[in-house]
A and B are shown apart, each in its own frame.
Chain A
Amino acid sequence: MKQTYNGWANKVQGLLLLILCMILFSCQKDFLDKKPDKSLLVPTTLKDFQALLDNTTIMNASPSLNMIASDEFYTTGDALNSLGAIYEENAYLWTKDDPYQGNRIVDWELPYQQVFYANVVLEGLRKIPADTYSQSQWNQIKGSALFFRSFAFYNLAQEFAKPYIGSSASTDLGIPLRLTSEVNAKSVRATIQTTYDQIIADLNLAQSLLPLSANIKSRPSQMAVQALLSRIYLSMGDYVNAKKMADTYLSSNNKLIDYNTLTASGINPFPPAIPSGNDEVVFYSALIPINFEYSSLTIVDSVLYRSFSTNDLRKSLLFLDNGGGIINFIGDYTGLAYYNFGGLATDEVYLNRAECFARNNDGTSALKDLNLLLQNRYKKNAYTPISSTDMNVILSAILNERKKELIARGTRWGDLRRLNQDSKYAITLKRIIYNQTYTLPPNDNRYVFPIPDNEITGSGIQQNPR
């Protein structure tokens, strides 16, 4: 009996040991390396990096508070109170004291998120050297990341730093130039000069890496770089380089939409810009959604609206007359309702170049560009080309058309800051709300938005004077 018992015991013991050993030594390493969630990834491949840059919600968005603060739209006191976002109300009234009231400001956060994504990609690329097979994709991703970072830096500089003024650029405070994804690295504000130097250097490098054009307009291309550089140089008052970039751009893409091909039906007449529905769009970006944009009482500035002649197709295509003097803007180049276009397009490049010609006293060339643009905007054969030799007349016409053509693109604020430096074009903005008048004189401190409170608390960078 004892024997049988021992035999049993041995068998069971052996079996137990076997099971133990099998589990202990079989696949322990794989077992602990298993991904806890299949949808998670540590971005390491070119495909991963491209996927990060293709996140349009994050990468293809531009600041929008500046549009509220500009002079393209107005609203009523009641509508302002019902906006439901105190920082939007304060942006509209250029409130001096604590305009954000502790709120988070997407205009600041989202561009820096773009910078972070770009930095993650740029650092990741360093770890995977390109081979001949992947070189062009590697270049394209690196160029894209540099473009996105520069566009974000530029957009931030338009709201949160002073305009570029050559004489003081090396002392004026710019924005923190984050060039690493290390979140514990300290943020410090660079000077305006360093800010623009970084942007321009990165864009020049990007231009050498990117393909000429992109099939999907949410992705950067050489032409997008040229359009952006043209805008940046113009904002710096560097008309030579601005013209050079516009020339390069227009030599490969000068196509304008003939508005006679569009029909006015009370809704946005333009097809979706993504992937490639709008011939003028070269790079897609949408202004960050704000309540001001959605309000039915966000009304186009009446002087601006009246300045469109009846033969101007833009008057019926871009606007919707809701009666009672309420004119709403509907003609976003995004091709989507309630998504204002904040990207780059050919019409802007024409206007950039026309202005550069005029600034260089080449009135003929300036008018050639302007008239070409407007011919595509007016009813067929109803446009009388502008002809003048008075450079002031020409420049005024260009700037006037610039304001009309680029309505709700998020560029007006930058233009105001730029033009205010020349007393001839400087204007004082004015709002009347509940019979109270609010003004924003040229070059006022309030042309620079304060840095959001959570940034000041978190990094302690210097606040803008207000």
Chain B
Amino acid sequence: MALLFSTVRAQYTVYGKVIDQKTKEPLAGASIKINDSQRVISTDSFGQFHFNSNSKDIIITASYVGYINSETKVVAAMSDSVVIALNRISNELKEVVVSTGYQNIPKERATGSFEKVNADLLNRRVSTDVISKLEDLVPGLVFNRSTSNASYQTQISIRGQSTILGKADPLIVIDNFPYEGNINNINPNDVESITVLKDAAAASIWGAKAGNGVIVITTKKGRFNQAPKVSFNSNVTVGGRPNLFYQSRMSTADYIDEEQALFTKGYYNSAEKSANKTPLTPVVELLIARRDGKISASDAQSQIDALKNQDVRNDFEKYLYQKSVQQQYNVNVSGGSANQTYYVSAGYDKNAANLVNNGYNRLTVDANNTYSFLHNHLDVFTGISYIQSDNIMNNPGTTGILLSSTSGTSLYPYAKLADASGNPLSITHDYRAAFVTTAQQKGLLNWQYSPIDEINLADNHAKQTDYRLNFNVVYKIFPGLSARALYYYGRTEGITRNYQSQDTYYTRNLINRLTQVNTDGSLSYPVPLGGILDQNTSSAISQNFRGQLNYSKNWSNKSDLTAIAGYEIRNTHTITDQHREYGYDDEHATSTKVNYLTYFNNYYNPALTQQIPYLDSQGDLTDNYISYYTNAAYNYDNRYTVSGSARIDESNLFGVKTNQKGVPLWSTGISWNVSNEAFYHISWLPLLKLRATYGYSGNVNKSVTAYTTAVYSNGSDNLSGLPYATITNPPNPYLQWERVKMVNLGIDFEALNHRISGSLEYYHKNGIDLIGIAPYAPSTGIVQFKGNLANNAGHGVDISIHSRNLNGAFKWSTDLIFSNAVDEVTKYDVKTDVLSFLQLVYPLAGRPLYGIYSFKWGGLDPKTGEAQGYLNGQISKDYSGIINASTPDNIVYNGPARPTIFGSLRNTFSFKGFSVSGNISYRFNYYFRRNSVNYATVLSGQGGNRDFALRWQKAGDEVFTQIPSLPATNNGNRNNFYMYSSSLVEKADNIRLQDVNVSYTITKEKLRSLPFANIQLYVYGNNLGILWKATKTKLDPDYPLNQFPPVKTYSIGFKADF
């Protein structure tokens, strides 16, 4: 006992930490050589180390790749902890530490595909949100520009899409935990770095949610032993007015001519006599008045001619759109003592949108602290983040301004929104103009509709309050082994409040529609006078607990093992509540009871009855997960690394049998640092590392279940007043989770005295048991079936090259990113007719998930100008025959709809404090379908594409036009054939100047009188223009169907550190 005690007494424990001299960042994985025993140990992920020694005076040598070795003399008994600060050999050669969200790994020893983007690069781009800053920085990561799915957090695909119906965008992790709130609310100024996890070895630690890659966002923290540092950043971004003439549209004159032709044919007779008071355009009203002798033919003609010069898009641009202005302010303070750090930040954003009266305001506060106790044995981290945002949505845009909102007929192009002096004007909307006037005379509320008035009267806000609390404890149990407990509480409270006062059209219209005329002629109002208030509230609470053991051990200076294992439990509970108040008095917050049950006669057509809309609803969603995971990496002599990872996820997926709830996912990888071999002597290539990984990750789709499921609806909408249920899912006992298998091969290199560095990766992936939709024979009772119908395969190459071309006083560096991503659906057990295939884009085996297909185009018939296709190899105009003989397999496959080759080229020039950086992005090998004239809309008096003017009109026109002639009557098959013919498919390839950043930095070292440590002024321009595109049309190939492409924006700002 005594002997043992004395032995213990004779031992000294040395605690220490290795940091970067300049940034004070901890250096994880640095080697510590101890002179007493020639032992070598490594620092942990916090850059910390400790060891026991028998001698009192020890000399330790700390070394780290890219840093100058440092010898330190330690007097064990004297100090609690030594801090060894290493100087970098050169600024660029910095050890990269990547974060998986579970651990930090030195990239040098990683086997998987990680891509780290640091704050400097993120700040190059000015934006309100974080995610858009990633564009053009990460190979393999692409923004899907033309498609937008509001239910996804981002529009990003990493290495192509590995699911069909599941969540197709990557998992977003903020500081260890998945973030499922509104990612646009995160303040980019609080982001320290972003790591993108691309392959299975990197992402499979995230298991069933990682099938589409993972984006790990690390926020800024304070640092130990750092003097207080204050940083300030502010900028203003101005965006131009959008070009509403981007989509070509039939000229007003043509539109009016067509209306006249239809009028002559009697097309409007039915609408004119309709008891529904179907609205007719001013031209049709004039034609009726002329027919009925109410105005003279010449008056009518001159009034109609006057309208031919109108284009409502001028008014839209003038009164409903504006230049956007985005202001951003952010200040943060950080610092730390030997055993405590802090970071506090506040940000404010105020954006005025392109749509007049729309905007976005955001306030963010972020505060975190780290405390170190018990000789660095116990670290406690606390973080709190608060975000308050207000999205103002008073202007719904112009696409919803229609002639009739009930039938969806589009607005006439000669509508006038304001008079010459800018006073708002009413337009014909929902009812015939004469009816509106008469109704008003009979005592109903004003029934006019003016789009300009509407946006001024609207009061529609979506506010979100978001809290994130983090509490982490790390306890070092004995050298090499530590236990971590992490708790995360996230809460997003949303309230959308749409107050439509009695002055708004919506409210006036509803009150008027249901106004009842009593027998004595007086009026009564089932929908009470006053405003209508819609409030949707939602509350999403996410709680996570994670318990994890970290183990690291080093043997004899050569072998190094790091391993983690943990358990995680996650619960997300979302409650939504929607309700509406009628007769709402905003001043006194009072409302009126209404009768939801009675069917009231409609004022505009008493034959129709209607109940007062009842919109109240509630929702209660729960997402539960339990996961077990482990990850280990073994490194030998900084030459060979072997890694492995495994994870099991279980969730409350509805209806799936318990044994299918869990999905085991795993990965493994190896890497070989060839340049560290003794035999390696290629001096121009000082770093060469080879990597290979293999593994599985998964996707979650909660919209399918194994059992027949139904959903209850409350009975108020139903005729019988009884509660009723609707079947949402047919039974599917064979349901499985989706899995994604990926192989990744990579080479990392540095060449020519470290001036050129980069990596090259090849990957191959397979999606297995992907859930797809298949059209089913309706006799089964369903028309669509969701199930594990598909497999897909994808492969590609990601290359990134960084080159410092000139490194003197004038610096020039080039960053090139190149990605090639090819995907193919390998199995899709679906038979579908060709039109639904073209319209709904079902996947097709042997083709990419998103492809462009078309009917083979046979030009125009020189005699009639009708479109021609091919039937049984012969030129044909039998559209019905062509469509019926066509199958998804035998029509033309033009090519993929998403780029298979894409990337960017960024050049940065700097001289003294000046820096200019320009980014060119390119996308190749994909196609898009453009719009053209659709005679279904032309022949229903709703206009259409400007191609109408270029249509075939007489023999000989076929030489210069491919646009079919106007048919006498509408022919659906003819329209469909043309709309989906090859003549409207265009190559989408393009190169664009994405953005330019110019900055000037002054440091205190340069200018002593400067009150700041440094100050930077910057100017930034985004969406600067297309340099080249394959299509000859004026369309932006990435936005062929959008109302307008993204506008150019210009920013100016400054950053200062105190």
Contacts from A to B (Cβ < 8 Å): 5, 8-9, 12-13, 16, 19-20, 23-24, 28, 31-43, 48, 51-52, 54-58, 60, 76-79, 81-82, 84, 86, 97-98, 101-104, 108-109, 112-113, 115-117, 119-120, 175-176, 178, 181-185, 187, 216, 218, 266-268, 272, 274-275, 284, 295-297, 322, 326, 330, 336-338, 452-455, 457-459, 461
Contact = CB atoms under 8 A, between A and B. Distances in A.
A32 B721 contact: no
Interface of B: 265-267, 269-271, 273-275, 374-375, 377-378, 473, 475, 477, 483, 485, 545, 547, 567, 569, 571, 599, 601, 605-609, 619-624, 626, 650-655, 658, 661, 702, 705, 707-712, 718-728, 730-731, 775-783, 785, 831-836, 880, 883-884, 939-940, 969-970, 972-973, 976
A455 B777 CA distance: 4
A109 B723 CA distance: 24
Given A16-B475, A39-B619, A183 B940 contact: no
B652 A55 contact: no
Given A36-B652, A52-B725, A97-B880, A9 B781 contact: no
A62 B184 CA distance: 48
Q: Main SS of the interface on chain B? A: mixed
Given A9-B475, A39-B711, A109-B783, A16 B483 contact: yes
A48 B710 contact: yes
A445 to B, nearest CB: 18
A289 to B, nearest CB: 13
A322 B650 CA distance: 66
Listed from nearest, the 5 A-B pairs whose CB atoms lie closest are A116-B781, A458-B777, A459-B777, A78-B266, A51-B725
A54 B723 contact: yes
B649 to A, nearest CB: 11
A189 B394 CA distance: 56
Greatest chain A CB density within 10 A among B374, B607, B653 is at B607
A89 to B, nearest CB: 9
A42 B269 contact: no
A297 B970 CA distance: 19
A56 B724 contact: yes
Given A32-B650, A42-B709, A267-B606, A452 B269 contact: no
B719 A115 contact: no
A12 B378 CA distance: 9
Contacts of B780: 112, 116, 178, 183-185, 187, 458-459
A297 B270 contact: yes
Contact of B778 (A77, A109, A267): A109
Nearest to B723: A51
Given A37-B621, A178-B781, A455-B778, A81 B969 contact: yes
21 contacts: A5-B374, A19-B545, A32-B652, A34-B624, A37-B619, A41-B710, A42-B655, A43-B708, A81-B970, A108-B779, A181-B708, A183-B785, A184-B780, A216-B720, A268-B607, A336-B599, A453-B884, A455-B779, A458-B778, A459-B779, A461-B779
Nearest to A16: B485
A147 to B, nearest CB: 16
Given A55-B725, A455-B777, A104 B783 contact: yes
Contacts of A455: 777-779
A42 B880 CA distance: 43
A42 B661 CA distance: 17
A32 B661 contact: yes
Contacts of B731: 181-183
Contacts of B273: 296-297, 322, 326
B973 A101 contact: yes
B720 A218 contact: yes
Contacts of A54: 718, 720, 722-725
Greatest chain B CB density within 10 A among A82, A178, A181, A216 is at A82
B725 A43 contact: yes
A185 B778 CA distance: 12
Given A32-B658, A43-B708, 15 more contacts: A16-B547, A19-B547, A42-B707, A52-B726, A55-B724, A76-B266, A102-B834, A112-B778, A112-B780, A113-B778, A218-B720, A457-B777, A458-B775, A459-B780, A461-B777
Contacts of A84: 940
B613 to A, nearest CB: 17
Given A48-B725, A79-B269, A119-B781, A183 B776 contact: yes
Contacts of A78: 265-267, 269-270
Given A8-B374, A41-B725, A216-B722, A51 B781 contact: no
Nearest to B620: A38
A429 B115 CA distance: 74
Greatest chain B CB density within 10 A among A58, A268, A457, A459 is at A457
B274 A102 contact: no
Contacts of A108: 778-779
A236 B622 CA distance: 55
Given A55-B726, A452-B778, A454-B783, A338 B608 contact: yes
Nearest to A336: B609
Contacts of A268: 607
A86 B599 CA distance: 33
A31 B623 CA distance: 10
A115 B973 CA distance: 32
B267 A36 contact: no
A331 to B, nearest CB: 11
Contact of B782 (A51, A116, A187): A116
Given A9-B475, A35-B622, A275-B721, A102 B883 contact: yes
Contact of A101 (B781, B880, B940): B880
Contacts of A101: 880, 883, 972-973, 976
A52 B377 contact: no
A34 B785 CA distance: 25
Greatest chain B CB density within 10 A among A19, A78, A178 is at A78
Contacts of A60: 719
A82 B270 CA distance: 8
A268 B275 CA distance: 13
A176 B781 CA distance: 12
Nearest to A43: B710
Contacts of A33: 652
Nearest to A284: B719
B651 A176 contact: no
Contacts of B607: 266-268, 330, 337-338
A5 B547 CA distance: 22
A272 B831 contact: no
B567 A20 contact: yes
Greatest chain B CB density within 10 A among A55, A218, A268 is at A55
B725 A454 contact: no
A453 B834 CA distance: 10
Contacts of A119: 781
Contact of A98 (B777, B778, B973): B973
Contact of A454 (B377, B719, B778): B778
A24 B711 CA distance: 32
A125 to B, nearest CB: 13
B1039 to A, nearest CB: 29
A429 B601 CA distance: 37
B867 to A, nearest CB: 15
Contact of A297 (B269, B653, B727, B880): B269
A28 B626 contact: yes
Contact of A117 (B274, B652, B727, B884): B727
B726 A102 contact: no
Contacts of A79: 269-270
Contact of A52 (B475, B727, B883): B727
Nearest to A40: B709
Contacts of A41: 709-712, 725
Contacts of B571: 31
Contacts of B599: 272, 336
Nearest to A19: B485
Contacts of A34: 622, 624, 652
B532 to A, nearest CB: 25
